[in-house]
Amino acid sequence: MKKLKVSAAVLSCFLLLSFLCACGARFGNSGTADAGEPATEPEEKLTVVGFSQVGAESDWRSANTESMKSVFTEANGYELIFEDAQQKQTNQIMAIRSFIQQEVDYIVVAPVTETGWDTVLQEAKDAGIPVIIVDRMVDVPNSNLFECWVGSDFELEARKMCEWLRWFCVKHNIDAKDIYIADIQGTIGASAQIGRTRGLKIAAEEYGWNIVAEVEGEFTRTKGYEATQQLLRKYPKMNVVYCENDNEAFGAIEAIEDAGRRVGSNIKAGEIMVLSFDGVKPEALQDVLDDSISCIAECNPLHGPRVEAIIQKLENGETPQKYEYVDEDVFSAYDQIESVIVDSKEYPITQVSEALIEKRRAEFDAGSYDEELPDNVY
Ligand code: AHR
């Protein structure tokens, strides 16, 4: 009798389970009543991208981060793991190792400086994870350690800028030996610093300008201010401050004005000319229109869609171009120089106007600065 009781209990459990299973198979999670359909819609797998960003040192960097974040969204089929390295290579190496541990599909790195990547990139290669380098370059013995690179030709930016300065001097009868330039450099060892410093040195040697100082400015406003303050005391003859980005230029302008000097293109009348790179924020273009910055060589930060295009190519089994340079402009409000020539190629100078600034401001407000991409985006 006891035996019969147990068997009855087992049987009822079995029947209940069979009923529940049948219901599960019939309705699934979506509640669909059609028999034979899978229980759940197969979820689309997100492509996981680990992005190691340099930091948040400049307006350029913020626009670059925004460009990446706006593309690598779940809606576009991605999961983005974003790591801000706060300008430290050790943090970037830690981030890359953690991406490897998490078995991401792609690693994207904006390297703070060029050297010191061999070991960690080899680790990513051994793990079979493709690495895309963006913005600045890496200096590694074997370029097979990364899939490809996309970014700016920083030396070309500098050479365009220097050609503009040369022609400005010609048009205003300013003798080369009367030009005293202080170079407020970016983060030492970063491609943007190396290229911009080198471009200036080549031109100074060729045209006979004096470079009175090279000081590190780390691409920040604070350092730009501090450096200029000291340079003004040390080099009273300094009449051109060559800032390796806009944030340094904002600091330099403030320091010059705080010291009771005037910023502007009229060197002969004692003004101090400020030159800069990036041209990302409308405020920088406004400074050009106001003659606080005489010329800006553009550095384009909108790499999100470019990196995505590379990933799509890799997903399709195609080989992306190994090195992809982006098109960049030169901005000035001085209308006597329409273009400059570097290595036999002509580059137009874009005249900054209220309309151009308004357009840039509207793009910023709409959060769609990346609407207009240069022609060479895939
Ligand atoms: O590598 C690009 C440079 O980095 C930008 O010119 C500068 O603003 C940024 O910090």
pLDDT of residue 363: 72
Is the pTM above the cut of 0.85?
yes
Instruction: Calculate how far, in angstroms, residue 157's C-alpha sits from the geometric centre of ligand 1.
Output: 12
- Gap from CA of 135 to ligand 1 centroid (Å): 8
pLDDT for res 365: 66
Which of 52, 53, 57, 58 has most ligand 1 atoms within 8 Å of CB, for mutation? 58
Q: Is there a contact between 70 and 304 (Cβ–Cβ < 8 Å)?
A: yes
pLDDT of residue 370: 47
- Answer whether 136 contacts ligand 1 (Cβ < 6 A): yes
Helix axes 89-101, 118-126, angle to 10 degrees: 10
The atom number, within ligand 1, closest to the CA of 246 reads 8
**Span 119-148, pLDDT tens digits:** 999 999 999 999 999 999 999 999 999 999
Q: Is 276 in the pocket of ligand 1 (CB under 6 A)?
A: no
- Which residue has its alpha carbon closest to ligand 1 atom 3? 192
Instruction: Please tell me the distance between residue 192's alpha carbon and the centre of ligand 1 in angstroms.
Output: 6
pLDDT at 19: 42
Q: Distance, CA 32 to ligand 1 centroid (Å)?
A: 54
Q: Based on C-alpha coordinates, what's the Rg of the chain?
A: 28
Measured in angstroms, how far is the CA atom of residue 173 from the centroid of ligand 1? 33
**219 Cβ inside 6 Å of ligand 1:** yes
Residues 46 and 185: their CA atoms lie apart, in Å, by 40
Region 47-151+301-326: CATH code = 3.40.50.2300
| pLDDT tens, residue order, the chain (378 aa) | 333 344 444 444 444 444 444 433 333 333 333 445 556 666 789 999 999 999 999 999 999 999 999 999 999 999 999 999 999 999 999 999 999 999 999 999 999 999 999 999 999 999 999 999 999 999 999 999 999 999 999 999 999 999 999 999 999 999 999 999 999 999 999 999 999 999 999 999 999 999 999 999 999 999 999 999 999 999 999 999 999 999 999 999 999 999 999 999 999 999 999 999 999 999 999 999 999 999 999 999 999 999 999 999 999 999 999 999 999 999 999 999 999 999 999 999 999 999 999 988 887 666 555 444 433 332
Judge if the beta carbon of residue 278 lies within 6 A of ligand 1.
yes
CA-proximal residue: ligand 1, atom 2 (nearest): 192
Residues in the chain, overall count: 378
Ligand 1 atom, smallest distance to 244 CA: 6
Q: What's the pLDDT score for residue 214?
A: 98
Atom of ligand 1 nearest to the CA of 190: 1
- 52 Cβ closer than 6 Å to some ligand 1 atom: no
pLDDT score recorded for residue 74: 98
pLDDT of residue 9: 46
Q: What is the pLDDT of residue 123?
A: 98
Ligand 1 and 85: CB distance under 6 A:
no
Verify whether ligand 1 is closer than 6 Å to residue 192 (CB atom): yes
CA–CA separation, 337 vs 331, rounded Å? 11
Q: How far is the CA of 136 from the centre of ligand 1 (A)?
A: 8
**The pLDDT value given to residue 368:** 54
Ligand 1 mutation pick, 154, 245, 325, max ligand atoms within 8 A of CB: 245
CATH of domain 154-298: 3.40.50.2300
**CATH 3.40.50.2300 residue ranges in the chain?**
47-151+301-326, 154-298
Beta carbon of 164 within 6 Å of any ligand 1 atom: no
244 C-alpha to ligand 1 centroid (Å) = 8
Residue 29 CA to ligand 1 centre (angstroms): 49
Measure 166 CA to ligand 1 centroid, in angstroms: 24
> How remote is the CA of residue 169 from the centroid of ligand 1, in Å?
27
Greatest alpha-carbon pair distance for the chain in Å reads 118
